[in-house]
Chains A and B, each alone.
Chain A
Amino acid sequence: MSIRKDELSTVSIYLILGLFLFLYTFPLLYLVNVSFKTTAEFALNPVSPAGNFFDFHNFTTALKRGNLIRYSVNTIFYAVASAILTLFVCVLAAFPISRRHVRGSVLLFNIFLASLFLPNGLIPQFRLMVYLGLYNTSHGYILLKVSTGVVFFILTSYIKSIPIELDEAAGIDGCGYMQYIIRILIPLMKPALASGFILHIVGIWNDIIGGVLYFSNRNLFPAVRGLFSFYGQYGNDWPPLSAAIIIIALPLILLYVLFQKYIIEGAVSGAFKG
C-alpha cells in the first residue's frame, strides 16, 4: 500500500495542529489539576491526577490567606471606572475627529497614534503621579488609566462606517451636537463600545507593572498585584497558589467566554487602525 504525498502532508499538518492543541491546553489543565491536590499529594508526585476534584480547600485557603476577594473588588472598580471614563472621552473625541469637524483632524489622529511609538513615559508619569498626590490612591490610578489608545481607534473606525447622511438628517431635524452624540451615535455604536469596554477591562486586569508601581497600600492592591505578593509569600506551596491563580483568572475567563466575539473583533479592528 502506498501513501500519496498530499495524504502525508495532511497527516503532518494534523500532527502539528495537535501539538499546538497540547501546548495550549496542557498548562491550563495542569493548573486546574494542581489546584485540587493536597499539599501531600503534590509533594509525592506533582503530575498525578488529583485525588478529589470536589475538594475546594485550596480555594478557601487561598481566599483566606491572600485577601483575593478584596483585590478582585478593587480591580473591578478600577477597571470599570476607568473604562467608563475612557469610553466617554473617546466617543466625544472620536466623532469630530473621524468626521473632520475640526481643523487638523488628521494631525490630531496621528498625534494620538504616535503613542504607539513614542519613548516610554513611565518615569515622568510616575513622578507626575507623586507630584499631583495621586500616587497610592484609587482615583489617581483610575485617572492614569484613562487611555486614548486602542479604544479610540476602534471607535473612530466604527464611526466611519456610520453613514454621514444620518448626521445631516438629524441636523435638519434640529438635533444639537451633543444631543446627537448621546442620543443617536452612542446607541448605534454598541458593538464598538462593548469591544472597547471589554478590551479596556482586560488591559487593566493584566496591568502588573502599574499595580506594582502605583500602590504600596495593601488594601488598594489590584488583583494581579495581590497574586504577585501571594506568590512572593507562598511561592513553593503550589496547590493553594494554583487555586489563587484560578481565582484571579476566573473573571477574565468568564468575560472571554461570554464576549469572545467582541473581544476578538475589537482587537483586530484596533490593530488595523493602529
Chain B
Amino acid sequence: MIPFGNTKYSGIIPYLTILPALLFYVTFYLGPSLATVVFSFTNITGVSGMPWKFIGLDNYERFFRSGSATEIWECFNRTIIFSLSVVLIQNTIALFLSVQLNKKMKGHLFYRALIFMPVILGVTVVGYMWKLVLNPIDGPAQQLLSLFQTRSNFLGSINLAFPLVISIQIWMAMGYSLVIYLSGLQTIPEELYEAGHIDGANNFQIFRNITIPLLAPAITVNVLLAIIGSLQVFDTMFVLTNGFFKTKTLSLLMFQEAFRGSQRQGYASAIAVLLFILVLFFVLVFQFYLRKREDNL
C-alpha cells in the first residue's frame, strides 16, 4: 500500500506524478509510432497542401509486386545480410574479448574503456574518422593496399562499400556488447572455474559448459539489442555513403522516401511497418531457439 498520507486524495497523487512522462511518451513516441501504421494505408506525402486519401494495401502491394530484380529487393536482402552479420560478428568478437579481459590482465580497464569509446563518440564523428582513414587519395588504408600492388575506392567502391559499412557499424557498437558481457561474466563465481579445472576440463570445455550457460542472460540481451538495432539503424549509412555504392538498407530507404525527393510518406510508412514485422519475426525466431535450447538442457 502507499505509505504516504491517508486523506481522501492521497491515492490520486501517484497517478498524477506518472502523467507528465506518459504525456511526453504518448505524444512524441507511442502516438507517432501507431500513426505510422495508419499512414501506411494512405497516399500521404510530405508536400504541404496535397490532398490525401486511404488507399488500402496499395503501398504494401507496391512493395511486394516490385519483383526480385529491383532496388527494393536489393535493399531487403541487404538489410538481412547487414543484420545477420552485425548480430553474429559483433557478438562473437565481443564474447571472445570479454572472456579475455575478464582474466584481469594488466590494462584490462583501459582496454574496455578504449573499445567502448566509439559508442560515446557517436556516428558522425566515427563516420568521418573512418572516411579519413579510408580516404582513397593516399590515405593509410590505400597505402597499406599499395604494399600488395592493389588499390580501392573503399567507401566509393561497389564491391567494398557495403562490407566496410558493416565493419564500421560493428567497430562502433562493439563496446556496448562488450560491457554487457563483462558485467555478465562478473556474476559467475570464481569457484566454478576452479572446480572445472580440478575436474580436468580444458579451456574450451570450461567456456562451453560453464561460461556460456551462465552468461545466457547477457547473451539474450545482446542478441536482442543487436537484432533490433541493426535492422533499424540508418544513420551509419547516412553519414558514410548516403546509400550509394549499394549500401542502402530498408531503414535508409524509408528515410529517403519520406523526406527526400517526392516525399512519399505513406509508402515510407509501409516500409517502417514492414521493418517492424521483420524485427518481430527475428526476435520471435530467436526466442523460439532459446526455448528449444532450454528444453534440451
Contacts and interface: CB of A to CB of B under 8 A. Distances in A.
A148 B26 CA distance: 10
Interface string A7-48: 001000100110011011111101100100000000001110
A162 interface: no
A238 B132 contact: yes
B269 A95 contact: no
A249 B129 CA distance: 11
B10 A206 contact: no
A192 interface: no
Contacts of A119: 33, 36-37, 272-273, 275-276
A267 interface: yes
A231 interface: yes
A252 B125 CA distance: 10
Interface string B166-180: 000001000010011
Interface in A226-264: 227-228, 231, 238, 241-242, 245, 248-249, 252-253, 255-256, 260, 263-264
A89 interface: yes
Interface in B107-136: 111-125, 128-130, 132-133, 135
Contacts of A171: 3-5
B35 A124 contact: yes
Contacts of B111: 17, 21
A129 to B, nearest CB: 9
A112 B25 contact: yes
Contacts of B39: 123-124
A121 B4 contact: no
B117 A21 contact: no
B124 A255 contact: no
A26 B133 contact: yes
Interface range on chain A (Cβ under 8 Å from partner): 35 or more
B18 A93 contact: yes
A83 to B, nearest CB: 13
Contacts of B234: 209
Given A118-B30, A119-B37, A206-B122, A34 B132 contact: yes
Contacts of A213: 259
A68 interface: no
A121 B10 contact: no
B136 to A, nearest CB: 11
B69 interface: no
Contacts of A252: 120-122, 125
A248 B232 CA distance: 26
B147 interface: no
B80 interface: no
Interface in A206-236: 206, 208-209, 213, 224, 227-228, 231
Interface string B83-104: 0000000000100110010000
Q: Which of B10, B33, B221 has the largest count of A CB atoms less than 10 A from its CB?
A: B33
A13 B24 CA distance: 49
B132 A13 contact: no
B117 A97 contact: no
B15 interface: yes
A126 interface: yes
B163 to A, nearest CB: 15
A30 B129 CA distance: 9
Nearest to A112: B25
Given A46-B135, A256-B120, A123 B258 contact: yes
B147 to A, nearest CB: 12
B253 interface: no
Contacts of A249: 121, 125
Interface in A60-113: 88-90, 92-93, 95-97, 101-102, 108, 111-112
Contacts of A245: 125, 128-129
A53 interface: no
B276 A93 contact: no
Interface string A160-179: 00000001101110011110
B140 A176 contact: no
A224 B122 contact: yes
A93 B180 contact: no
Given A23-B171, A27-B133, A117 B228 contact: yes
A93 B17 contact: yes
B225 interface: yes
B213 interface: no
A122 B17 contact: no
A59 interface: no
A188 interface: no
Closest 5 CB pairs of A and B: A206-B122, A121-B32, A171-B3, A93-B21, A96-B14
17 contacts: A31-B129, A46-B138, A46-B140, A89-B20, A96-B18, A116-B228, A120-B251, A120-B254, A121-B31, A152-B21, A176-B4, A176-B5, A177-B5, A178-B13, A248-B124, A253-B117, A256-B113
